[in-house]
Amino acid sequence: MTRYIFITGGVVSSLGKGIASAALGALLQARGYKVRLRKLDPYLNVDPGTMSPYQHGEVFVTDDGAESDLDLGHYERFTGVSAEQSDNITTGRIYQNIINKERRGDYLGATVQVIPHVTNAIKDFVLSDAGDVDFVLCEIGGTVGDIEGLPFFEAIRQLNQELEPLQAVFVHLTLLPFISTAGEMKTKPTQHSVKELRSIGIQPNILLCRSERPIPEGERRKIGLFCNVRQDSVIEALDSEHIYEVPLDYHRRGLDKEVLKHFGINNAPEPDLSRWHDISDSLRTPDGSVEIAIVGKYVSLPDAYKSLIEALHHGGLANQVKVKIRWVQSEEFDSDDADLEAKLRGAHAIMLPGGFGERGATGKIRTAQYAREKKIPCFGICYGMQMAVVEAARNMAQIDGAGTSEFGAPKAKIVGLMEEWTKGNAKEVRSESTDLGGTLRLGSYTALLKKGSRVAEIYGSESIEERHRHRYEVNIDFKEQLEEAGLSFSGLSPDGKLPEIVEIPDHPWYIGVQYHPELKSRPFEPHPLFSSFIGAAKVQSRLV
């Protein structure tokens, strides 16, 4: 029997529901159970694909091409279970599906309403495609009391009534602020949050209380009494030294034990947390450090690069070094008098991440030139790789008017709009007038690597599968000119039409990839490109 755990949040946003869900999934997995994690997002966008990174943070892409919430990245990294299209749903997608059904006449003339039609659609999503897993963990986005979240709370309330006894558990993540002027920890925000939850028919079984300080026993008793929760089910959630220590910290405080107890499971195997302890030990005792300069467009909001940050840390784990990140706004390098040397001096490697649009593009091109000429390890991803190729076209191959059609009409279209490509057995077709949402090249595609190339050596294979999210592509027509100038096209699509990887063979480490390798990196399986990149930075750190 599949059991369901619903994770909700209260008081304020950004308390860490995604990390809490992922950590709980990892703890259940460590006890030998199969888990699956899902995210229910209340916003009206069909998916986050058209949202600004400043609004939503990173867009996480699954193998089957879903543009989804960044929390799915946490789920994958903590559990190793690859997310799918069916693991993230939004209000927008639910309403889109319902309206399409209504237009077709599927409701047989009935009045379409939030209850039961919207709530039924949410319940169908939660229960669908569970497979043979033991636990499905469903995180509800937003905060209890948000008007857009009400249909989701109503749906899980109904599910609790419809499932078998001991088949559903509610975990509510809340905040215990400490008022320094009063010298007191305040429980009232948590009490009001639970009151709001109970007013819509949901009684939380477990309270996961975020706090900057340990919770006194008296306060735990008070919370349990006023929130109608057993004192043992009031779990302390202090800040951890690193996110990969959260499972260990939650286990020490009994979260997984309490969850199983509420399901009536008293004979669960003890968890094997050895690999989490190994990660913790590696993070606490690094053999030196390296500094990576990330030259990007959205550096004021690090969540825009969440998977990238984690993949860099995974590369650090593989090389037993601590990774320090220097955030550099690429737009600062757009002007002719920009002092790259002042901003990048001392960095052991440079990262050019993905993005869209003209702002900061010139800065990335200049950064790519700086890294190439100064022989600093450089890693370009998606848009970053495209700007590196434009730089090579201008300054290595001397191609007049080299640029990208993403903004403007360059004389030499080094990067242009993809108009068609093959996905599976179907041909995908796009044009300038195509809708922006859901029309990129999305999901997992195969790339073939050049024998003897650096990337083939790094991967240990000549065929790879990686996740994509882009609308523009490097123009294969310029391959010969660029290779003559010293830029090697070391990875191509199986039909040879789409460049996937470029590298400079006589550079210490200079690689650009069209896909997003950070999406598949995990702490226990660091992505080979990031392991190699941080290894090159480690070598560079001994030279400067």
- Please pick, among 382, 391, 406, 466, the residue that the annotation labels catalytic: 382
How far apart are the C-alpha atoms of 229 and 226, rounded to whole Å? Answer: 8
Residue 518 annotated to the active site = yes
Of the candidates 100, 90, 94, the one whose C-alpha atom is nearest the C-alpha of residue 47 is 90
CA 78, chain centre distance (Å):
12
3-state class of 128 per DSSP?
A: coil
Please answer whether residues 518 and 307 qualify as being in contact, where contact means their C-beta atoms are separated by less than 8 angstroms. Answer: yes
Q: Is the peptide bond before 116 cis (omega within 30 degrees of 0)?
A: yes
Helix locations, 148-232, DSSP H: 150-162, 188-199, 217-227
Instruction: Provide the terminal-to-terminal Cα distance of the chain, rounded to the nearest Å.
Output: 58
Contact 61, 307 (CB under 8 A): no
Report which of 40, 74, 24, 12 is spatially closest to residue 210, judged by C-alpha positions.
12
Of the candidates 192, 328, 237, the one whose C-alpha atom is nearest the C-alpha of residue 23 is 237
Length of the chain: 544
Based on the residue annotation, tell me whether 209 is a catalytic residue of this protein: no
> 381 in helix, strand or coil?
strand
Beta carbons of 491 and 450 less than 8 angstroms apart:
yes
Catalytic residue flag (residue 516): yes
Q: Kindly give, in sequence order, each residue whose CB lies less than 8 Å from that of residue 276, ignoring residues fewer than 6 positions away.
A: 26, 30, 244, 245, 247, 248
Tell me which residues are annotated as active site.
382, 516, 518
